[in-house]
Chain A
Amino acid sequence: MNCEVKVKDRIGTINPIFTCQPAGAQYASIGIKDCIGIVHGGQGCVMFVRLLISQHLKESFEIASSSVHEDGAVFGALDRVETAVDVLLSRYPHVKVVPIISTCSTEVIGDDIDGLITKLEEGLLAEKFADREVHLLPIHTPSFVGSMVSGYDVAVRDFVKKFAKKGEPNGKINLITGWVNPGDVKELKHLLAEMGIDATVLFEIESFDSPLMPDGKAVSHGSTTVEDLQATGSAIHTFALNRYEGAKAAQFLEKKFKVPSTIGPTPIGIRNTDALLKKLSAVTGKPIPESLVRERGIALDAIADVAHMFLADKKVAIYGNPDLVIGLAEFCLDLEMRPKLLLLGDDNSGYVDDARIKALQDNVDYPMEIVTNADFWDLEDRLKNKGLELDLILGHSKGRFVSIDYNIPMVRVGFPTYDRAGIFRNPVVGYAGATWLAEQMANALFNDMEVKKNKEWLLNVW
C-alpha cells in the first residue's frame, strides 16, 4: 500500500495545527442570531479566540467570559456564570440565546453548568427576565478532549438538540455546512437557490462579510434564528456536508426526530459538488437545472486551462480541518496533482475508518502519508530532515513560516487565514470554489516560478 495512515510519533506538539474545543464552540455560536455565548473559564479562553476569529474575518462580534479568577478556581465558579448571565441579559436586551461553554479549568473543578442552568431558568429567568425569550444551554467542551473541530461538532449538535422540535413537516432540508467561511455559505445558498431547494442553513454566517456604511451602524452577526433551529426537527432530510463538523447534529435529528440524514460529501472540487447536487436532487426530486450545468462548464473550462499543463504531478502537502483536507486532496487528485502529505491536527480515532481515506489508500499509486494528531513539525521535519519535496502547500496561516522558510508556495485555505486579504470572502466549495482553488494554486505556482526564476519565461505565451 502506498498510502499510510499513522499517528504522529512524538507525544508533544511543536506548532499546533488546531486550537482547542471551546474555540470551535465559539465559532459555531457566532453563527446564531441574537446569541452571545459565555465561556466559562479564564478570560484568555475568550480574548484570544475572539482575536483569532476577528483576524480571520476582519470583523468583530461578541462572546463573553465568566472571568474565573483564583477564588473561583478554588471554591467553584458557578456564581461567576450566574452573574455573567444576569449582566449579559441586562445589558444586551436583544439577546435570546446564551450557550454556556465550558473549558478545561471549569471541567476539572467540576462546575455543574447543567444544574446551574436549571436553577437560573427557575430563578433568574423566571423572576427578572419573565417577559423575555431567553434560552440557556450548556456546551461541554473541555480543552483536553478533541480539538476545535470536535468542539464545533459538539456545539452544532447541542444547539440543534436544544431547539429542534417536531412540527408539521416543512418540506425543507437542513444543510449543516461544517466549519466554513462566509464565501462558502454564499456559494452553498446559491447552489440551493438554483436548485429551487428551500433549506435551513446552519449556520448563516455570510453577513460576516459586512459593509462599512455611512451611518457607521453596520454590525456583523450570524443570521440563523431560533426558529430556524427549531425547524430542523421538521425537515425532510439533513445534509451534513462535513463528517467531523456537523454529523453529530444530523445523527441526533435522525435518532430523535426520524429526519433522515446524509453525511457528506464535502463539496470541494467538481466531482464532490456533482455528488452533492445529485443527492440533493434525489432527496428533493428537483432536477439539476441548466444554469448549474453551465456553471459547471464554466468551472471546467477554467480548470482545463491550468490543470494538465501546470498543476499535473505537482507535489502538495495539505493540513487543517479533516473534511477540508480530505476534500482538497480528492480535488487535487482530480487535478492530476500529487498530495504527498495530509496532516490532521487531532487524535480522532475515527479518521482511519473514514471511507474517503480508505479510498485514497486503495488507489494512490505513489507514496503518500496521512498523519493524525499531527503538528507543523510533522511537515517541517520531513522537509528539513527527511527529504520531502513539495511544490505547494495548502493550509491556514499558522503554517506560514514553513512556506516562507522552505520557499514553498502556499495557498491559504481553511481557518484561520489572517495573513492574506479577503480569503474568507471566497468559496472553496461548489463549482465556484473549484475554480477559485485551481486558479489560486496555478497563480501561486506562477508567482513562484518568477520569484525563483524557474522557467519564468514559460508564461510569455499561454
Chain B
Amino acid sequence: MPYHEFEVSKCIPERKMHAVVKGPGEDLTDALPKGYLNTIPGTISERGCAYCGAKHVIGTPMKDVIHLSHGPVGCTYDTWQTKRYISDNNNFQLKYTFASDVKEKHIVFGAEKLLKQNILEAFDAFPDIKRMTIYQTCATALIGDDIGAIAEEVMTERPEVDIFVCNSPGFGGPSQSGGHHKINIAWLNQKVGTVEPEITSDYVINYVGEYNIQGDQEVMLDYFKRMGIQVLSTFTGNGTYDSLRGMHRAHLNVLECARSAEYICDELRARYGIPRLDIDGFGHKALGDSLRKIGLFFGIEDRAEAIIAEETARWKPELDWYKERLQGKKVCLWPGGSKLWHWAHAIQEEMGVKVVSVYTKFGHQGDMEKGVSRCGEGALAIDDPNELENQEALLTLKPDVIFTGKRPGEVAKKMRVPYLNAHAYHNGPYKGFEGWVRFARDIYNAVYSPMHQLSAIDISKDDYAIDKGFVTRRMLSDATLSEEAKASPITGYTGPFDPISGLRGKTYPVFERRAATEAAE
C-alpha cells in the first residue's frame, strides 16, 4: 500500500490519503495523493487564501498598474513586499499598494462610496498611471459591494482610465489556487480583446504563467527576442496591463506555470483558437527542449539551436562542476505548486542530487501526477503539508537541503537543514541557462556552508580537531573527489551579482518578415 501515514496524523485518518511513498516498480495508479481538497482546520497547514492567489501571485506582478484591495487594510499590508517579482519600470508594483481601508461603519452601511473615492484618490496621487486592478476581500464580498459597477462608473467619468475587477475573496476555495483560477477567467472575460496590439513579427506568442521572480521573465524574453519572436504579453510578471488586453492576437501561448495559469490558456484556445505549448524554463535540457519546441512550432528551429549551443557552451561546464560536488545530496523539494514537477527531474539529472520528498501546498492531483512520476523510488509525496508532518518527514528523511518558503525554512534551519527559498529564490534568477547554474551555486553554498558544519558540533562533548583557522567550501566538497576532478580549472559560477540589469536596453537582431521576403521573391 503506497499511502504514507504520519505518526503525528494518526488522529486525523483522512490525512492518510494525502501522502504517498513511491514504492519500487510503482506508478501513478499505485501512488497518487489526494489533492486540492478542503483544508482540515487546526492542522497548521501552510496554505494561503484565494485573495492572495489572485492579487499577490498573479495580479500584482503587472507593473504599470495601481493595485487596490477593497477591504480592511490588513490584506493589502500582508501581501505587500513579501515577494520578489521585479520589473523594468523601477518596480512600481513592488513599491506601491493601495487599500480602500474599510472600517466598521462601512461594513454596516456599505463601502461602495468609499471605494469610488479611493479609486479617484489613487489615480490623482499617481497621474501617470491610468490602469487599475481592484481586488475584493472577504469583508467586502460578504457585505456585497458591487465593485464592478463602481469601476464602470469611474471609467465612464474618466475615459482615459481602465479598471479590472477581480472578485476572489479569501475564503473562495481550499487555497490560493482558487484565486488563480478566478483571476485567469476574470481577466479573459473582462479585458482580453479590448486592445488591438501591433504585430511586428511572424512569430507571436503570449508568455503565460511567468511572474518575473528575480528577473526570470527577462531572462526568458531575451531568448525569445534572440529568436525573433514577438512576445505580445507576459501573464503577468513584468507585464503591462494593455499588452495583456491584446492576448487574443498571439499565434501561440507559451505556458510556464501550468498550475496558476493554464485556465487562461485553455480558454484562449477555446475562444480564439490559440494553441497552448507547455514549457520549462528551469534546467538546461528542459529549457533547450522548450526553445526547440517553440522553434519547431514556428519553423525556426535553427534559431533555437543557435541559442542552445551558445548558452550550453558558456554555462554547462560550470553546472557540471556543481553536479560533481552535489552527487547524491538529499533534497526535500517543498514548493507551492508547479515547481515540484518543474524541478524534480531536472535537479536530479543535471545537479546530481536526489529528491527524497516533494510536497505541494496548493497543487492539484495533476501536479502530483507530474511530480511523482518525475521522482525516484522511495520519494515521499505530500499534499497540503502541515507543520508536524513536515518535522516528522525531516527527521525521517534527513535531507541535506530543503527548498521551501521563508517560515518553513526557519523550522528546517533549527533542525539543521539548510534552506533555499523555493518561491522567491535566494540569489536568482533561476530560469535560463545561467540561472540554473545560479541555483546550483546556491544549493552548493548552502550544503557546504562551513557554518552548517560548525552547527553540528557540540563543543562540550565532541572531540574535534581545532587545528584549523578556517574551512572553505572546497575543502568540504572536494574531500572525496578524484584528483582529476579536483584539478578542474573551473571554480564554480562566474556570473555577476545582478545578471538582469544588463539585459535591459539590449539590442536584438532584426529578422526580415516572411511577408516581405515573399514579396521580394
Contact = CB atoms under 8 A, between A and B. Distances in A.
Nearest to A143: B72
Contact of A50 (B51, B169, B407, B456): B407
A384 to B, nearest CB: 10
A337 interface: no
A69 interface: yes
A22 interface: yes
Contacts of B41: 38, 64-67, 80-81, 83-84, 87
A73 B39 contact: no
Interface stretch (A53-61, A115-123, A257-265, A271-279): A53-61
Nearest to B66: A14
B518 interface: no
B102 interface: yes
A426 interface: no
Interface string A72-105: 1100000011011111101110000000000111
Contacts of A85: 42
A151 to B, nearest CB: 9
Contacts of A19: 73-74, 77-78
Nearest to A219: B414
Interface in B96-118: 96-104, 106-107, 114, 117-118
A108 B118 contact: no
A90 B173 CA distance: 26
A386 B446 CA distance: 47
A29 to B, nearest CB: 13
Contact of B44 (A62, A81, A219): A62
Nearest to B416: A216
Contacts of A218: 414
Interface stretch (B138-146, B325-333, B337-345): B138-146
B81 interface: yes
Contact of B12 (A23, A50, A91): A91
A13 B99 contact: yes
A7 to B, nearest CB: 12
A13 B96 CA distance: 10
B516 interface: no
Interface in B162-218: 169-176
A49 B78 contact: yes
A12 B118 contact: yes
Contacts of B68: 12
Contacts of B39: 43, 65, 67, 69
Contact of B456 (A54, A145, A214): A214
Given A14-B96, A14-B98, A87 B42 contact: yes
Nearest to B78: A48
B319 to A, nearest CB: 31
A54 B406 contact: yes
Contact of A45 (B40, B49, B406, B417): B49
B9 interface: yes
Given A14-B98, A60-B411, A60-B414, A44 B43 contact: no
Contact of A69 (B43, B77, B171): B171
A148 B72 CA distance: 12
B142 A144 contact: no
B480 interface: no
A105 B407 contact: no
A106 to B, nearest CB: 9
A51 B407 contact: yes
B171 A144 contact: no
A398 B81 CA distance: 7
A70 B171 contact: yes
A52 interface: yes
B122 A14 contact: yes
Interface in A22-51: 22-23, 36, 38, 41-45, 47-51
A222 B410 CA distance: 16
A214 to B, nearest CB: 4
Nearest to A400: B81
Contacts of B413: 212
Nearest to A50: B407
A97 to B, nearest CB: 14
B80 A67 contact: no
A283 to B, nearest CB: 38
A179 interface: no
Given A18-B73, A59-B410, A10 B121 contact: yes
A143 B82 CA distance: 20
Number of chain A interface residues as a range: 35 or more
Nearest to B172: A70
Given A60-B407, A64-B42, A12 B11 contact: no
A103 B49 contact: no
A23 B122 contact: no
Contact of B49 (A43, A50, A58, A108): A43
A87 B138 CA distance: 25
B455 interface: yes
A249 to B, nearest CB: 23
B295 to A, nearest CB: 40
A63 B387 CA distance: 10
Interface in A375-419: 377, 381, 397-398, 400-401, 405
B142 A109 contact: yes
B11 A90 contact: yes
B411 to A, nearest CB: 5
Given A43-B49, A51-B82, A145-B104, A216 B38 contact: no
B73 A64 contact: no
A52 B44 contact: no
Contact of A72 (B12, B49, B114, B171): B171
B455 A214 contact: yes
Given A15-B97, A91-B388, A43 B410 contact: no
A64 B44 CA distance: 5
A134 B317 CA distance: 60
A158 to B, nearest CB: 19
A14 B120 CA distance: 12
B296 interface: no
A270 interface: no
A83 B45 CA distance: 14
A217 B107 CA distance: 46
Nearest to B94: A401
Nearest to B69: A13
Given A16-B77, A20-B72, A103-B138, A144 B103 contact: yes
Contacts of B107: 104, 108, 144
Contacts of B98: 12-14
Contacts of B75: 20, 44, 143
B481 interface: no
A427 interface: no
B138 A13 contact: no
Interface in B22-60: 38-52
A433 interface: no
B95 interface: yes
Interface in B378-418: 387-388, 405-408, 410-411, 413-417
Which of B43, B97, B138, B176 has most A Cβ within 10 Å? B138
A147 interface: yes
A210 interface: yes
Contacts of B406: 51, 54-55
A22 B74 contact: yes
Q: Which 7 A-B pairs have the closest CB atoms?
A: A20-B74, A42-B170, A84-B42, A44-B49, A84-B41, A48-B78, A105-B138
8 contacts: A11-B101, A12-B99, A14-B122, A67-B45, A85-B42, A105-B169, A219-B414, A397-B81
Given A41-B138, A60-B414, A218-B414, 5 more contacts: A44-B48, A52-B82, A91-B11, A143-B139, A214-B456
Interface of B: 8-9, 11-12, 38-52, 68, 71-82, 94-104, 106-107, 114, 117-118, 121-122, 125, 137-139, 141-143, 169-176, 387-388, 405-408, 410-411, 413-417, 455-458
